[in-house]
């Protein structure tokens, strides 16, 4: 990873951290952001420390499923990019594009194989990091490839500069300058159990020779490279390792140094630890020029020591051994608060913990969440914004989506806030309906921040179904503009019913009678009704279904059009009062005795609620007996009898 430049800025901590104890005052320098994977594998960024006049880095990947992340400056513009792997895909993301720079773009597939490890480092001393990957294989005796990519001058012209094949997968990769030539070397560890191969290999990318390649007696757990010892006139960085299987007899934690005259590594430091430490991070906690070593493990007991720091410089730091439980899975180190000194950042499934001043005390800050903790690198640090993003006005629109469910004929309002979420004062904006204008409107259509607009939703004339509308808020020349407010409208049919569905009554010829009633239920449904001969509804309904058309015409009903149209005339001896209206309503049914002979007569009353209700049509079967004399016998009506 590229060196971090210094600037004169006073950087306060962002306010969203849960504070366990108060950190000490901070100096003025550039900081690193925290890059992590949420529980779904989506890459996200926390920027806990933002200087006055600067903006926080707010970014997340457009998709999820990522399994490992690393950071590096692939175009030499002074800020880091993110490289991530998932399955057979590796991709670079450039959250902050510096002025005058092109976006770093890189994506490659390993299909039908899979990417397994990802790391970064400047292996050619050109001021730009390269991407180091391993991928699976299963061809012949090859099980793994080490692949190195170089992004060229601006991180857009990528070249594969190395592809080594191996007979067994590597478990971890670390980069650092172990031979003091100013270039990062590549260290790899693996455990090939069937071959009793517990190998540590260090490659020199200058000519791809091997600086060290040896199988040891016990399996390695983790490897890191950094300047843990300030040795006068020696630019070599130390190799820090942990291993298992030694119980408490041999050192499980080792610091070693490469020597040019020996195939073996020189032992520098070592300690016996059991349980074994499984994760290593290096960082200069007091800006003394050498890096301290952080070690993390599962202590196997709730009160065991899980996290320690070791210092091998001439500077003094307090003893740092923490009993923090068994939940912590990974540790990284870097300057996340801009004080010029490294902090330790720990990861668990539910928290990120930052030890803000390990050179002084045990104070820390928490951020709660749901995090992915599996894999070699679920968390990384990187300076994603260089010297920071200058604060400027920014369009804020909230909320940006609504789902509204209404009954046909109803209307409602929703409210949207338009604000300046960045720096500076008010700015002008406009709001325009870009979709759904037949049922969606906005008021006011222009103004200045802060403001609230009203989205007016009216379902009049809409058939039941789902509609999507959009309102676009635009602020000319303002970052974050334009933004769309998406309205999803679900129109349900209004309640509409007709009772009863059958009328049976007797009329004595020439005598008064009580007209039967039909109740039309619902709210605000406009309806129209008519009477057709019994038995004619089936033909009319079939034509209406085939054509999608049915209308009330003078003296009857018509379905379809042209030669295929079916027309049914009204029954003249039945009168509906009223024959149209708005629910709820009562329809009174009367007959004209002068138009029918004594006997049994049938008809069908059709009530049409219009296209916004479902079902649209209701039928009432009517049977009337016009009698000449009063009868005292029970009536029974039936078809064809």
Q: What is the DSSP annotation of 445-514? A: SEEESSEEEEEEEE-TTPPSEEEEEEEEEE-TT-TT--EEEEEEEEEEPPPEEEE-SEEEEEEETTS--P
Please, what are the domains in the chain?
395-492 (2.60.40.10), 497-627 (2.60.40.10)
SS3 232: coil
- The dihedral through the CA atoms of 508, 509, 515, 518 has a sign that is positive
The torsion angle over the Cα atoms of residues 8, 10, 16 and 20, rounded to 10 degrees, is: 110
Query: Cβ(409)–Cβ(422) under 8 Å?
Result: no
Bridge partners, residue 277, by sequence = none
* pLDDT value of position 29: 53
CA atoms within 13 A on the CB side of 480: 19
CA distance 315 to 360: 12
Indicate whether 538 pLDDT > 60.
yes
* pLDDT value of position 232: 64
- Does 16 or 281 have the greater pLDDT score? 281
The pLDDT tens digits for 558-595 are 888 888 888 998 999 999 999 999 999 999 999 999 99
Tell how strand 617-627 and strand 502-508 pair up: parallel
Count helices and strands (H / E) in the chain.
Answer: 1, 51
Query: Cβ(362)–Cβ(307) under 8 Å?
Result: no
* pLDDT value of position 1: 36
What is the edge-to-edge ordering of all strands in the sheet holding 238-243? 220-226, 238-243, 253-258, 265-271
The pLDDT tens digits for 148-163 are 999 999 999 999 999 9
* pLDDT value of position 612: 76
CA distance 629 to 82: 97
- Mean pLDDT over 383-407 rounds to 91
CA distance 239 to 241: 7
Backbone dihedral angles phi then psi of residue 564, each to the nearest 5 degrees: -90, 5
**Residue 160 neighbours by CB under 8 Å, 6+ apart:** 147, 148, 149
> What b/e string do you get for 36-51 counting C-beta neighbours within 10 Å, with b at 16 or more?
bbbeebbbbbbbbbbb
Bridge partners, residue 412, by sequence = 457
**Residue 639 neighbours by CB under 8 Å, 6+ apart:** none
The pLDDT tens digits for 42-96 are 999 999 888 887 888 999 999 999 999 999 999 999 999 999 999 999 999 999 9
CA distance 464 to 462: 6
Distances (CA, A) of 466 to 436, 463, 537, 592, 599: 11, 9, 31, 46, 51
């Amino acid at each position: 990873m590229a060196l971090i430049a210094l600037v004169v800025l006073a950087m306060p901590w962002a306010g969203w951290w849960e504070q366990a104890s108060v950190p000490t005052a901070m100096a003025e320098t550039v900081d690193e952001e925290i890059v992590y994977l949420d529980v779904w594998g989506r890459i996200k960024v926390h920027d806990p420390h933002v200087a006055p006049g600067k903006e926080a880095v707010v970014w997340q990947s457009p998709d999820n499923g990522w399994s490992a992340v690393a950071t590096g400056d692939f175009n030499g513009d002074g800020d880091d990019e993110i490289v991530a792997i998932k399955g057979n895909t590796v991709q670079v993301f450039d959250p902050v594009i510096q002025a005058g720079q092109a976006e770093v773009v890189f994506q490659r597939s390993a299909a039908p194989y899979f990417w397994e490890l990802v790391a970064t480092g400047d292996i050619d001393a050109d001021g730009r990091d390269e991407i180091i990957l391993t991928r699976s294989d299963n061809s012949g005796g090859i099980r793994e490839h080490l692949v190195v990519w170089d992004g060229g001058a601006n991180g857009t012209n990528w070249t594969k500069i190395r592809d080594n094949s191996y007979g067994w997968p590597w478990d971890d990769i670390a980069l650092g300058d172990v031979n003091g030539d100013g270039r990062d070397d590549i260290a790899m560890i693996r455990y090939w159990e069937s071959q009793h191969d517990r190998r540590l290999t260090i490659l020199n990318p200058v000519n791809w020779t091997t600086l060290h390649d040896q199988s040891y007696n016990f399996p390695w757990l983790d490897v890191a490279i950094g300047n843990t010892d300030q040795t006068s006139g020696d630019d070599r960085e130390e190799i820090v390792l942990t291993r298992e299987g030694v119980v408490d007899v041999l050192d499980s934690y080792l610091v070693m140094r490469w020597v040019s005259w020996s195939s073996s590594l020189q032992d520098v430091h070592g300690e016996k630890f059991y349980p074994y430490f499984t994760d290593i991070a290096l960082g200069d906690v007091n800006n003394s020029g050498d890096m301290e070593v952080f070690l993390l493990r599962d202590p196997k007991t709730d009160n065991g020591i899980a996290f320690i720091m070791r210092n091998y410089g001439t500077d003094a730091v307090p003893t740092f051994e923490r009993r923090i439980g068994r939940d912590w899975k990974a540790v990284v180190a870097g300057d996340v608060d801009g004080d010029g000194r490294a902090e330790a950042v720990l990861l668990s499934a539910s928290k990120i913990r930052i030890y803000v001043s390990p050179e002084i005390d045990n104070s820390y800050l928490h951020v709660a969440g749901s995090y992915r903790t599996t894999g070699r690198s679920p968390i990384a640090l990187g300076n994603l914004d260089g010297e920071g993003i200058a604060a400027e006005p920014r369009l804020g629109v909230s909320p940006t989506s609504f789902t509204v469910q209404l009954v046909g004929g109803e209307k409602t309002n929703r409210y949207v806030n338009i604000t300046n979420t960045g720096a500076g004062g008010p700015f002008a904006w406009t709001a325009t309906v870009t979709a759904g204008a037949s049922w969606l409107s906005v008021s006011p259509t222009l103004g200045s921040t802060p403001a609230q607009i009203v989205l007016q939703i009216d379902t009049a004339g809409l058939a039941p179904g789902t509609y999507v509308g959009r309102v676009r808020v635009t602020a000319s020349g303002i970052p974050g503009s334009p933004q769309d407010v998406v309205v999803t409208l679900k129109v349900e049919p209004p309640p509409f019913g007709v009772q009863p569905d059958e009328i049976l009554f007797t009329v004595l010829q020439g005598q008064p009678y009580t007209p039967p009633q039909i109740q039309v239920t619902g709210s605000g449904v406009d309806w129209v009704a008519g009477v057709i001969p019994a038995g004619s509804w089936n033909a009319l309904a079939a034509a209406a279904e085939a054509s999608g058309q049915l209308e009330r015409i003078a003296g009857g009903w018509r379905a379809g059009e042209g030669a295929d149209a079916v027309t049914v005339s009204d029954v003249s001896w039945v009168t509906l009062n009223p024959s149209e209206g708005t629910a709820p309503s009562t329809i009174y049914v009367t007959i004209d005795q002068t138009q029918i002979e004594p006997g049994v007569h049938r008809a069908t009353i059709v009530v049409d609620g219009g296209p916004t209700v479902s079902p649209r049509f209701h039928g009432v079967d009517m049977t009337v007996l016009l009698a000449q004399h009063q009868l005292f016998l029970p009536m029974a009506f039936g078809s064809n009898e």
